[in-house]
Amino acid sequence: MASNPIREHEPYTLEAFAADVDAVVTRESTQARIVQQLEPLLARFLAAETLPDQFCCAAPNRIASDHQDFTLYRLHRGSGDRFNIMAAIWPAGGGTGVHDHAGNWVVEGVYRNKLHTIRYVRQDDGSQPGHADLRKSMTLDMLPGDVAHVQYPDQYIHDFINPTEQPTVSVHIYGGDITQETLNYFDPATSAVEPVAHDLSYDNE
Ligand SMILES: [Fe+2]
């Protein structure tokens, strides 16, 4: 990727970050190449510490829904919703529950504090409605500056938990608009899976 030596010395702002993400998503067509190229951009954005303060604290008076006890801010909307950049504020002990992403890639990173993620692989063939056998494949504690990704066809079922007593701030680049999609939510203990439509919402819109 060509780089501008003058820009390298300027603060890496949300606007510059979004422009770089747009260039990658425009240029590349496979999930593997997109996430590979977005991870270093997100790492650079996290290290620059230019996320505006208003996106680093929980939305006041937000009411938790069945699948969202965390604040979600939309930071940038890519053209045609090819991607969205979001910040999430996780309360102490809060999390997502085990879920997938409707076929979309995600690149995620921690800005403040810690996020624990658990990845699962699906053991069954998906032919039985409401049923999914999962096996835990990986756990990861992400600290400020750490980045990771979700991509299909594997490594796509996961859970996020803030294991600490303080809020966690994370930044996510999502390959679509997560608030407009039907996500599957899994219960690994009972092998139940439930599709849930449009349950997530942005707290700044
Ligand atoms: Fe997720």
Question: pLDDT tens across 43-69, in order?
Answer: 999 999 999 999 999 999 888 998 999
Q: Determine contact, residues 143/110, Cβ cutoff 8 Å.
A: yes
Q: What ranges do the domains of the chain cover?
A: 7-197
Phi, psi of 73 (to 5 degrees): -110, 135
**Residue 53 CA, ligand 1 centroid: distance in Å:** 23
Q: Is the pLDDT of residue 42 over 70?
A: yes
pLDDT tens digits, 77-100? 999 999 999 999 999 999 999 999
Q: What contacts 28, CB < 8 A, 6 or more positions away? A: 34, 37
pLDDT band of residue 9 (cuts 50, 70, 90) is: low
**Residue 102 CA, ligand 1 centroid: distance in Å:** 10
Q: Is the pLDDT of residue 155 over 90?
A: no
Q: What's the confidence (pLDDT) of residue 104?
A: 95
pTM, two decimals, is 0.93
**Residue 135 CA, ligand 1 centroid: distance in Å:** 17
Q: How far from 89 is each of 4, 80, 81, 174, CA to CA, in Å?
A: 33, 25, 22, 16
Q: What's the confidence (pLDDT) of residue 61?
A: 86
- Over residues 106-121, mean pLDDT: 97
**Residue 8 CA, ligand 1 centroid: distance in Å:** 31
**Residue 3 CA, ligand 1 centroid: distance in Å:** 31
Q: Is the pLDDT of residue 4 over 80?
A: no
**Residue 100 CA, ligand 1 centroid: distance in Å:** 6
Q: Is the pLDDT of residue 114 over 70?
A: yes
Domain 7-197 fold is: Jelly Rolls (2.60.120)
Q: What's the confidence (pLDDT) of residue 125?
A: 92
Q: Is the pLDDT of residue 158 over 80?
A: yes
pLDDT band of residue 139 (cuts 50, 70, 90) is: very high
Give the DSSP letter string of 12-69.
--HHHHHHHHHHHHHH--SHHHHHHHHHHHHHHHHHHT-S-GGGSSPPTT---BTTB-
Q: Is the pLDDT of residue 6 over 80?
A: no
